């Protein structure tokens, strides 16, 4: 057995800390043609009536343009750059937060103080602090009861104080209008001025904001973008948010109106450390404090600003690490990179005239942010020997990592444990993390073997994505194993981590799940979560190792940017990991400093060069759409494309062996890809109709991937080549920005969106390869 220590060497820590630093591209001559394309498509499809986009860096405005229509009904009015928008929740960071921080500077408010110090109605809620309100972690409901708001302040404060909390303050994050409504009242009581008056005197007038206010005057209505029809008629110059309307248009969560130019002045003040054109309104330290992610809740919020919540996930991957932003319901957003002093303002009236679509504005924000990010940022320059020569990444190990007799049977960690008669588990109550792949060489389930082991008690079962049977394609409920009657806790449902109730009386957690050697396969994340929660509850972890089905010899693809970690990106590793799940466990434990006691039960007689079909072990589909070693291999590249508007063969007999869409011309695409001469693969034109999933029952044209040499093919390279070909041939139809969902590497994504040639794109993709191989070396078992 291999027992891992949670200690982290100084060298590895240094390597992980040295995240890729984005370099701003020269602003002069920045190409924003992609922004024009994206906005043009949104206008043509009717997603938005119109928009104003403003991009700035430092004191320079790089782009300021109006598109489409300010108003469609009752009569069309063109959009202009000086259009005044209801900026909705941008009120929170660019209004209320500034007011609160001004009071903090003055010493009138403390961030760590309970709200009850300033609003006496909350004296019995000391755990609700000012900082938790600013970070949406105070436990308050997302939206306050209309009946409470209708009372208006101060009576509304008493009603809101009586509301039950949704969760213990500080333990989670939930976006909350309620919290910012209360912050607006805090400003009024502490300063003696209503929120709008305080902001006007402290910020708007000193900064020269001519078109920023609550309740805009009627004289400006000809320049205001209307929102939607209400029972009183079209909302024009009247705040869209119904609770802000009940509060007479002045509220901490919504109510501000502004132009792109005025918001740019606010952004310039912030990136200027609290001053604009010689007029200081905040101290530099105060502004610096705004950008820092706070530990409250999920740690994905700064003071008033979004860092990495679900609302930000569509934009943050395209601006450098350390950037912050916010969105507004009416179709507004701001994103700022303090380090490069770059900002993006997108203002739309997407709710005009009949409400609009939330999903469409999320996509538009992503695409605009991606276009701006690609135009203005790049990673460190890679080394490319010859710009027009393609070289695939080499193998990352010798032909044989150790001598293994060709006839020696390969035994999984479970088989080894069976041979030991489960002695390491004697006297233990076991929590088993497993699914249908957790079987021994004879096909017997780990569940039944452990349940029947002498002196061992199977106390609980935990199932990952796809459930215990590996057949589910949605969230999985808790249940009970039919054969053993042991409870089965789902780790792919409302919670993805085992909690105290699930872990009660568990002495050891045993992990036995077959991985596929790909970063975004979620079993890796489940393992990380298991180790983290085991450490929290002081429970040792045992990983029963299994083969990497696509060998442990090849590593390919960019590393995850550390701040972009997610359920499909658990650690800073490449797309094709080149590790077994036991080796990954050792790396994650050490590099993440997880203080758990980990034991890996190694495979016997497995070598890094072995493909799964060379092991003598029976193949079990690890998930519904990976049905062969070839599909697992292709998934390590083609899987990157499935979040886009392509079919990757789900709903057919060839998942990940084909890609297609109704708008693809298959023969031309296949010919273009074959002309690249990529090693180990041939592209064939194909037409197919998925039975379900994307483009269900819709005829698609596309290509089929025929693997001609699995030792030579580099699937991530194939995926990037396909992406470039689609971008060139179907630019108007294919929307590639969602590749970043699984690529999660800014330098590579920026290079792709800029249209870099394939050799340079691959150079960015493989840039951190040597550093990763050095990290990986100390965790390898085989």
Interval 406-416: pLDDT, tens: 568 999 999 99
pLDDT over threshold 70, residue 392: no
User: What stretch of H or E contains 190?
Assistant: helix 177-191
The per-residue pLDDT for range 629-658, each reduced to its tens digit, is: 999 999 999 999 999 999 999 999 999 999
pLDDT at 19: 43
pLDDT over threshold 70, residue 8: no
Q: How confident is the model at residue 16 (pLDDT cuts 50, 70, 90)?
A: very low
Q: Which of 55-59, 209-213, 359-363 is predicted least confidently? A: 359-363
Q: State the Rg of the chain over Cα.
A: 28
Q: Which of 267-271, 296-300, 552-556 is predicted least confidently? A: 296-300
pLDDT at 407: 64
pLDDT at 301: 96
pLDDT at 358: 79
pLDDT over threshold 90, residue 458: yes
pLDDT at 475: 94
Higher per-residue pLDDT: 29 or 761: 761
pLDDT at 483: 96
pLDDT at 5: 38
pLDDT over threshold 50, residue 17: no
Nearest-angstrom CA–CA distance, 222 and 220: 5
pLDDT over threshold 70, residue 386: no
pLDDT at 408: 81
Of all residues in the chain, the percent with pLDDT exceeding 90 is 89
Mean pLDDT value of segment 464-488 = 96
Sheet of strand 681-688, all strands in order from the earlier edge strand to the far edge? 658-661, 700-707, 681-688
Mean pLDDT value of segment 566-582 = 97
pLDDT at 21: 59
Cis peptide before 74 (omega within 30 of 0): yes
* Count of all residues that appear for the chain in the document: 782
Which stretches of 692-779 are assigned E, i.e. beta strand?
Answer: 700-707
Local structure of residue 617 (DSSP, 8 states): P
The per-residue pLDDT for range 140-198, each reduced to its tens digit, is: 999 998 888 999 999 999 999 999 999 999 999 999 999 999 999 999 999 999 999 99
| Per-residue CA distances from 259 to 64, 66, 212, 216, 542 (Å) | 11, 11, 7, 12, 58
The per-residue pLDDT for range 703-722, each reduced to its tens digit, is: 999 999 999 999 999 999 99
Mean pLDDT value of segment 49-66 = 97
CB environment 525-560: b (16+ within 10 A), e (fewer): bbbbbbbbbbbbeebbbbbbbbbbbbbbbbbbbbbb
The per-residue pLDDT for range 605-637, each reduced to its tens digit, is: 999 999 999 999 999 999 999 999 999 999 999
| Residue 557 token pair | 């693809």
pLDDT at 233: 78
pLDDT at 739: 98
pLDDT over threshold 50, residue 503: yes
Query: Please, what is the average pLDDT of the chain?
Result: 93
- State the pTM of this model: 0.92
Considering all CA atoms of the chain, what is the largest pairwise distance in Å, rounded to the nearest integer? Answer: 88
pLDDT at 357: 74
């Amino acid at each position: 057995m291999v027992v891992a220590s949670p200690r982290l060497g100084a060298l590895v820590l240094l390597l992980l800390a040295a995240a890729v630093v984005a370099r701003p591209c020269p602003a002069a001559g920045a190409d924003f043609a992609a922004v024009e394309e994206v906005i043009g498509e949104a206008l043509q499809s009717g997603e938005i009536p119109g928009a104003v986009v403003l991009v700035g860096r430092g004191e320079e405005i790089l782009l300021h343009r109006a598109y489409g229509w300010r108003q469609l009904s009752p009569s069309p009015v063109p959009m202009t750059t000086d259009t005044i928008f209801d900026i909705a929740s941008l009120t929170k960071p660019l209004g209320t937060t500034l007011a609160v921080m001004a009071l903090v500077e003055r010493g009138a408010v403390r961030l760590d103080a309970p709200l009850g110090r300033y609003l006496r109605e909350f004296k019995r809620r000391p755990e609700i602090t000012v900082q938790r309100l600013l970070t949406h972690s105070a436990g308050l409901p997302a939206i306050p009861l209309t009946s409470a708001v209708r009372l208006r302040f101060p009576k509304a404060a008493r009603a809101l104080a009586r509301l039950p909390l949704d969760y213990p303050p500080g333990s989670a994050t939930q976006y909350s209008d309620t919290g910012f409504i209360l912050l607006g009242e805090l400003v009024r009581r502490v300063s003696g001025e209503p929120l709008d008056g305080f902001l006007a005197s402290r910020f708007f007038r000193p900064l020269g904001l001519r078109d920023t206010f609550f309740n805009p005057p009627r004289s400006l209505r000809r320049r205001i973008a209307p929102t939607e029809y209400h029972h009183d008629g079209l909302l024009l110059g009247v705040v869209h948010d119904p609770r802000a309307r009940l509060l007479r248009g002045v509220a901490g969560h919504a109510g501000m109106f502004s132009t792109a130019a005025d918001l740019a002045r606010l952004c310039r003040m912030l990136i200027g450390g609290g001053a604009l054109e010689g007029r200081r309104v905040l101290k530099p330290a105060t502004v610096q404090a705004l950008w820092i992610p706070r530990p409250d809740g999920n740690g994905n919020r700064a003071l008033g600003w979004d860092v990495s919540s679900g609302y930000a996930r569509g934009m943050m991957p395209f601006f450098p690490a350390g950037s912050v932003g916010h969105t507004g319901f009416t179709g507004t957003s701001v994103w700022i990179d303090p380090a490069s002093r770059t900002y993006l303002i997108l203002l739309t009236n997407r709710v005009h005239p009949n409400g609009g679509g939330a999903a469409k504005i999320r996509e538009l924000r992503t695409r605009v942010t991606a276009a701006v990010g690609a135009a203005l940022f790049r990673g460190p320059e890679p080394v490319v020997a010859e710009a027009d020569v393609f070289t695939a990444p080499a193998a990352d190990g010798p032909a044989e990592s150790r001598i293994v007799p060709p006839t020696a049977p390969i035994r999984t960690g479970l088989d080894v444990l069976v041979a030991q008669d489960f002695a390491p588990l004697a006297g233990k109550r076991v929590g088993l993390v497993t699914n249908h792949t957790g079987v021994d060489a004879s096909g017997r389930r780990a569940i039944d073997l452990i349940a029947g082991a002498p002196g061992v008690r199977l106390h609980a079962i935990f199932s990952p994505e796809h459930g215990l049977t590996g057949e589910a394609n949605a969230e999985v409920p808790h249940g009970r194993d039919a054969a053993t009657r042991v409870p089965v806790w789902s780790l792919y449902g409302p919670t993805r981590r085992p909690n105290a109730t699930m872990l009660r009386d568990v002495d050891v957690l045993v992990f036995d799940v077959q991985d596929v050697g790909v970063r975004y396969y979620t079993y890796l994340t489940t393992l990380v979560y298991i180790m983290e929660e085991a450490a929290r509850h002081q429970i040792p972890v045992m990983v029963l190792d299994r083969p990497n089905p696509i060998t442990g010899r090849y590593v390919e693809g960019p590393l995850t940017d550390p701040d972009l970690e997610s359920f499909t990106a658990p650690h800073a590793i490449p797309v094709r990991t080149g590790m077994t799940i036991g080796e990954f466990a050792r790396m994650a434990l050490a590099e993440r400093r997880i203080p758990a006691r980990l034991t890996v039960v190694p495979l016997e007689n497995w070598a890094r060069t072995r493909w799964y079909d060379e092991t003598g072990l029976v193949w079990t589909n690890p998930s519904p759409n990976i049905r062969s070693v070839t599909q697992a291999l292709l998934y390590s590249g083609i899987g990157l494309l499935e979040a886009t508007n392509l079919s990757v063969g789900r709903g057919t007999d060839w998942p990940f062996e084909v890609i297609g869409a109704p708008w693809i011309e298959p023969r031309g695409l296949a010919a273009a890809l074959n002309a690249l001469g990529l090693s180990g693969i041939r592209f064939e034109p194909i037409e197919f109709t998925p039975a379900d999933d994307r483009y269900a029952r819709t005829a698609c044209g596309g290509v089929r991937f025929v693997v001609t040499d699995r030792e030579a093919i580099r699937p991530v390279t194939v995926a990037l080549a396909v992406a470039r070909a689609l971008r060139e041939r179907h630019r108007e139809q294919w929307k590639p920005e969602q590749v970043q969902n699984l690529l999660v590497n800014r330098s590579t994504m920026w290079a792709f969106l800029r249209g870099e040639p394939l050799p340079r794109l691959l150079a960015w993709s493989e840039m951190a390869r040597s550093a990763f191989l050095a990290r990986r070396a100390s965790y390898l078992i085989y």
